[in-house]
Structure 1
Amino acid sequence: MDKLRIGIAGISRGSQFYKEFSRIEGVEVTAVMDPDEQAVEKFRRQYSIDHGFTEYEDLLNATIDAVVIASPLRFHVQQAVAALKQDIHVLSEVTAATSTEDCKTLFDAVKQSKAQYMMGENYCYIRENIAIQNMAQSGVFGELYFAEGEYLHDVKYLHYDEHGRPTWRRTETMGRRGCTYGTHSLGPPLEWFGERVKYVNCVGPGSHTAPAYENDDTTLMLCRTESGALINVRVDMVSNRPHNMGYYSLQGTKGCYEAPRVPGGKHRLWLKDYGLSSEKWMDLSDVYEDFLPIDLIEMPVERTNANHWGSDYFMVNDFVNCLRTDKPVSIDIYRALELTLPGLYSEKSIVAGGSPVEVPDVRQW
């Protein structure tokens, strides 16, 4: 594949994807699509894009090798399926789908296509999360049994457009109860455990900050994995408070990890085999040389301070490398649905008062 031609659907978030793809040699964004014609033309002029469309079908017919789906949630499955039918590779924003039926539709489309599908869960590509994953796989934490993931991000200002009309964030994440946007919080811990969620319990305190909203201010989703480990996921997108979009913790029999809860804090680590006292923490960066590749260790400051802590580039680069070398993508259809389905089934649990609900095993589909 001499040059990889990329199309992008949805130019609001798509502008970040354009910047990251443009950093990779031999990759070119050749076409973009958005229903807002003026936004498309502005984007084309700004970045010198060859083709711009307002219809998704036109984007797929613009001779592209892969498409980035950065559209609202409700379009993810239909746009991915349309691309896969034309054997166009897909990198889709989270979540993969908004219903179990759509999950099955997407699953079937991937199985019938010659192209690859990857869900773009960029939080799995954050440097600290990769370090913890490599450490977990090496066994330094011992037997893993508990983890946490939190996404606290007040985005009420994005729930309505300039004309007062509800956006997809208002209707699709806050328009129903449950953990409707939980893959950022669940993704990294589930990678650390290397298994799937078998049961979920979901509860919430109701709507207080924005009483008209259907979803709770804060949603807690307790996930039990196949081995019996627990992952506690918290998602809150309306509470009046400073952001904390990437808190995680991990507990094993031989060590633990704690991300900072406030800006400026350090990623802390305790490992029994490192001879530390029971009350002494170490900085996660102290072990980077043992558990990270050099390009992640020597990230320039502007990258670590970039959107999503620089993870977008590493995700995009991984996607490109897999396509070029014909290797399976990292977050394939199985993993994408294993990250998406717990949130969908949390909607059943929360309306049942937090009762446990079993999550289907997509590897048996």
Structure 2
Amino acid sequence: MKQFNRRDFLKAAGAVAGAAATASMAGCAGTGSAAGAAATPKAQGQSVIGLIAPKMDVVRVGFIGVGQRGYGHVKRMSYIEGAEIKAICDTHQEVLDRAVDFLVQEGKEKPTAYGDSELAYKDMLARDDIDIVIISTPWRWHAPMAIDTMNSGKHAFVEVPLALTVEEMWEIVDTAERTQKNCMMMENVNYGRDELMVLNMVRQGVFGELLHGEAAYIHELRWQMKEIEHKTGSWRTAWHTRRDGNLYPTHGLGPVSQYMNINRGDRFDYLTSMSSPALGRAAYAQREFPAEHGRNQLKYIAGDMNTTLIKTVNGRSIMVQHDTTTPRPYSRHNLIQGTNGVFAGFPNRIALEHGGNKSFHEWEYDMQPWYDKYDHPLWQKMGAEAERNGGHGGMDFLMFWRMIYCLRNGEALDQDVYDGAAWSVISPLSAQSVANRSESITIPDFTRGAWRTATPLGIVGA
């Protein structure tokens, strides 16, 4: 790996991080402009669609952020053959020690620990014995850390969302193209058994020509408001006071986008969005906290339910919903509809005009015949091990296994920087639409036209 001058790198990285962090915080206060959403900046490098990194016998891994989500990532990565964890960074000493101690107890080489300041991760990035970096930090750090990682000569793997503003996403795309490094947003739901099966069914034409999809993140998370000093609620709660739109669009949208070949034969064209009143968070604060508590001093503006409609260039429609406030069962919708019928999740059900086991006027709820026929090859191969090692039913482990497999075998990743940007940009653009009477907002083409000839994601692992 190319040797980097540590002092020069830290100086350059600091400038990039500062600019990105400023853009990120600007995104906290506002939603950007229509011109920003539609503009396509001049490319600074070559497309990274289908990017294949040189094969790695061993993938050397660094982690930034090992609190709740990141600690699980450390555990799962430690179980994967061909991956070595070299360094870990976190500013919270307790969770940093916990991650290091876990690896030592597992008989692994003790990783170097970093965490004496917010920018300690840059010292880790200055090393030349790390190939990829897993970033699991609060949202505002995703963009600057991903950019710094690529500028240090390493591949970036970032928790969702990829970034917070349109400007940040373009900067990430530009950096990936200029450095020719992978920047994958780790959308784990794409590796769920049901989502993989439906992708296989779509590729085999079970639903006919695709027409419409529905995606969601409906997950009651008010209890996170009680996390004050540490953990997700300590920083995520504030987003309900900063942005009225879809705060977290990618979990449902990622799989539906892969079904529809978004960025690989089709792309998002424009969206329109509206929000319900924002009532639930304030009511919960009044009920659960003393009147003088800080949670009762906040003005919650994010509508309890946000509904965003996306139109694709090829004419398909997608409904995306977000609700982490109201008391209701969890759902990602995961609906895909075509000329021959529909699959919908939560609960799983299917109705087909041709090829089903019932009339299309009735839902089929028994999924076993469909698993028997259409289980994805990846799940057939690794599903048992994925379930054994865990992470949302195994999808987290399978995602990490697949990432390491691609890097060790010289294959393109299943998700690229353009996917992460397209799925994540729905958040700031939905807020812009909500703020302007649900006006239509143009969605950027982060591929700069390359979507027209890009090869759709195949049924990998067959």
Q: TM-score, normalised by structure 1?
A: 0.91
Q: Secondary structure at the match of 1:145?
A: strand
Matches within 5 A, 1:135-284: 135-159=201-225, 161-163=227-229, 167-172=234-239, 175-195=242-262, 196-211=267-282, 212-242=299-329, 244-260=330-346, 265=347, 267-274=348-355, 276-282=358-364, 283-284=366-367
Give per-residue Cα distances to partners, 1:224-256, cap 9 Å, x unaligned.
1112211111111122334x1433212111021
CA distance 1:10–1:364, shift in 2 (3 Å): same
Q: Secondary structure at the match of 2:137?
A: coil
Q: Deviation of residue 30 (structure 1)? A: 2.0
Residue 163 (structure 1) shift: 4.3
**Matched AA of 2:337:** Q
Q: Indicate the SS of the match to 2:80.
A: coil
Structure 1 residues not aligned, in runs of 5+? none
Question: Which AA in structure 2 matches 1:4?
Answer: V
Q: Which moved more, 1:167-176 or 1:131-140?
A: 167-176
Residue ranges of structure 2 left out of the alignment (5+ in a row): 1-55, 105-109, 283-298, 450-462
Opposite residue 272 of structure 1, the aligned amino acid is: E
Distance in 1 (CA, whole Å) between partners of 2:184 and 2:403 is 8
Which gives a bigger RCO, structure 1 or 2 (Cα 8 Å, sep 6+)? 2
Which has the larger displacement, 281-290 or 21-30?
281-290
Counting aligned pairs with the same residue, the percent is 27
* Structure 2 CA distance for partners of 1:146 and 1:174, relative to 1, 3 Å: farther
Distance in 1, matches of 2:81 and 2:389, equals: 23
Which of the pair is proportionally richer in strand?
A: 1
- In the TM superposition, 1:1-365 aligns within 5 A as 1-12=56-67, 13-48=69-104, 49-54=110-115, 55-62=120-127, 63-159=129-225, 161-163=227-229, 167-172=234-239, 175-195=242-262, 196-211=267-282, 212-242=299-329, 244-260=330-346, 265=347, 267-274=348-355, 276-282=358-364, 283-294=366-377, 296-297=379-380, 299-300=383-384, 303=387, 306-364=390-448
TM superposition shift of 1:3: 1.8
CA distance in 2: counterparts of 1:84 and 1:164, whole angstroms:
28
Q: Within 1, Cα distance between the matches of 2:250 and 2:361?
A: 32
**DSSP-derived class of the 2:175 partner:** helix
Question: Greater CA deviation, 70-79 or 26-35?
Answer: 26-35
**SS of equivalent residue, structure 1 residue 223:** strand
Distance 2:259 2:388 in 1: 22
- Counterpart CA distance in 1 for 2:166 and 2:309 is 19
TM-score of the superposition, structure 2-length normalised?
Answer: 0.73
Residues 59 and 301 (structure 1), Cα distance of their counterparts in 2 relative to 1, 3 Å cut: closer
Using the TM superposition, give the Cα deviation of residue 189 of structure 1 relative to its aligned residue in structure 2, in angstroms. 0.9
Residue type at the aligned position of 1:70:
S
* Deviation string, structure 1 residues 23-59 (Cα, Å, up to 9, x no partner): 2112122211111123212321232242111111122
Structure 1 stretches of 4+ with a deviation exceeding 6 A read none
Residue in structure 1 matched with residue 455 of structure 2 by the alignment: none
Pairwise CA RMSD = 2.3
> Whose Rg is larger?
2
The alpha carbon displacement at 1:328 in A equals: 2.1
